[in-house]
Structure 1
Amino acid sequence: MASPPVPSTASSPRVALFVTCLVDAMRPNVGFSALQLLREAGCRVEVPSAQTCCGQPAFNSGDTRDTALLARRFIEIFEPYDYVVAPSGSCVGMTRTHYPEALADDPPWAERARRLGERSHELMSFLVDVMRFRPSGRRLDASATYHDSCSGLRELGVFGQPRALLAAVDGLAMKPLQGHDVCCGFGGTFCVKYPAISNAVVGEKATAIDGSGAQLLLGGDMGCLMHMAGKLKRNGSAVRVFHAAEVLAGRADAAIGEEG
């Protein structure tokens, strides 16, 4: 359920930006884009320097003990803020949905996790559902298609929000993607444990992306985007891959140096 919008008479909400591991290590431009968008939406944004991994890889691998340790650390760091926002549906899905599960043997901490989860949001959803934000003055003369990542779509209900925001970008023509809601094959540790299956799944996804006729592939989760970008590049595709935040912030060109 979406949080109520912040009243126009209220002071600017204090928002903690959870950067996420992949953004920090592989595509910092996404973090800077998220920071810019949140500020444009009227938020007072802080990036807690003590933040670490949310524990999703450990949890997906069955290591509940270490997940619980990381969950407690995360909660302590981010509890003081009005909202926690991340440019990743999978990381927010972890903190909102799975922290209470990982902390089920410790009811006080599980309750703290639940309360923090109510104030934790994926970036696109937060901008639309909470801040009622619409970007202005953005232009990108290109065609694009959009992949809906599993966690964002199924755990958080993120679907219309990124499309509503991208509709405000002048010159951007959105093209449908066949199987837009089908897994790309990344699945966190799944692609490591089952590489052959993962490669077959992303192969089908790459074919659909090229078949869309779009110049750009957009999405909201770096793991999925990196997985698809790698396959497209190996296939010799000309499709460029960006996080939606980079386009919405007008920082797509700044990502070129991070692509390697």
Structure 2
Amino acid sequence: MRVDVFIPCFIDQFYPDTAWSFVKVLEKAGCEVKYSPEQTCCGQPAFNSGYWNEARTVARKFIQDFDEAEIVVAPSASCTGFVRNYYHKLFAEDEVNLEKSKALKKRIFEFSDFMINHLQISEVGAVFNHKVTFHDSCAGLREYGIRSEPRQLLEKVKGLDLVEMENLETCCGFGGTFAAKFHHISSAMTEQKVENALKTGAEYIVSTEASCLMNMDAYIRKQNLPIKTIHLVDVLATGW
């Protein structure tokens, strides 16, 4: 199966190794992976900040970049969820791009959803001898609608011990611009989330969302806490 991959801008800039892990796992699953270096952003940061005209410009390019792709996969429920759920609002008065966005909605997938529900592959031969806990991002859980899919992938990783934390559906405090505009509230939420993870005795917090992991990692490093963060695809790319 041929898939076009979308690498979110924050992964491209801050976690390029995660992008390589993403491609590596898709290829292990039998996909022919295509990456276009011309891609940029889905437009979500501008949209969430109220700059809809700017978001529309970026989203128009996103549609153009993937207009001929049969399937688009991204290691982020936030980006894919935004394309699926908000492009129709951006292009409500642009009939051409509205129709293209509706067509794209049916072809764009978050990584774990694509692996479990479309490829029907849950095991790639990964080995990760660590105790982990899983963080459900708000975008993944509430906007895109994944919950069991990443856990099904983790359960097949040899040596991995998955332990759920308390209040597992609670936000980590990132929320995109929320963390910048409401720093003190965000920090308190992050502290609560990390403390719940620490109570499990886990060595790692795993998530499908690099932005959440980046937010929690900043708190962990500042407080010098005995836990790390890691993206789901980086776990799956380990041990083979």
* Shared fold per TM-score greater than 0.5: yes
Does residue 126 (structure 1) correspond to residue 117 (structure 2)? The answer is no
Partner of 1:139: 127
Does residue 245 (structure 1) correspond to residue 230 (structure 2)? The answer is no
TM-score, scaled to structure 2: 0.97
Residues 125 and 239 of structure 2 are in contact (CA less than 8 Å); yes or no, is this contact kept in structure 1?
no
Partner of 1:226: 214
Partner of 2:136: 148
SS in 2 for 1:224: helix
Does residue 17 (structure 1) correspond to residue 5 (structure 2)? The answer is yes
Give the drift of 1:136. 3.6
1:162-200 Cα shifts (integer Å, max 9, x gaps): 111111111100011112211111001111111111111
Partner of 1:6: none
SS in 2 for 1:170: coil
One of 195, 199, 202 as aligned partner of 1:214: 202
Does residue 81 (structure 1) correspond to residue 69 (structure 2)? The answer is yes
SS in 1 for 2:68: coil
Partner of 1:41: 29
Partner of 2:79: 91
- How many residue pairs get aligned? The number is 240
Whole-Å separation in 2 of the counterparts to 1:146 and 1:219: 6
Residues 25 and 124 of structure 2 are in contact (CA less than 8 Å); yes or no, is this contact kept in structure 1?
no
Give the drift of 1:251. 7.0
TM-score, scaled to structure 1: 0.89
One of 181, 204, 226 as aligned partner of 2:169: 181
Residues 33 and 251 of structure 1 are in contact (CA less than 8 Å); yes or no, is this contact kept in structure 2?
no
Structure 1 runs not aligned, ≥5 long: 1-11, 253-260
One of 85, 93, 99 as aligned partner of 1:105: 93
| CA pair 251-31 structure 1, distance change in 2 beyond 3 A | farther
TM-align CA RMSD: 1.3
Give the drift of 1:41. 1.6
Whole-Å separation in 2 of the counterparts to 1:84 and 1:163: 22
Supply the AA of the counterpart residue of 1:139: V
Does residue 61 (structure 1) correspond to residue 61 (structure 2)? The answer is no
Whole-Å separation in 2 of the counterparts to 1:138 and 1:52: 30
Which stretch shows the higher mean deviation, 39-48 or 54-63?
39-48
Residues 29 and 251 of structure 1 are in contact (CA less than 8 Å); yes or no, is this contact kept in structure 2?
no
Residues 127 and 239 of structure 2 are in contact (CA less than 8 Å); yes or no, is this contact kept in structure 1?
no
Give the drift of 1:30. 1.1
Whole-Å separation in 1 of the counterparts to 2:49 and 2:36: 27
Supply the AA of the counterpart residue of 2:54: D
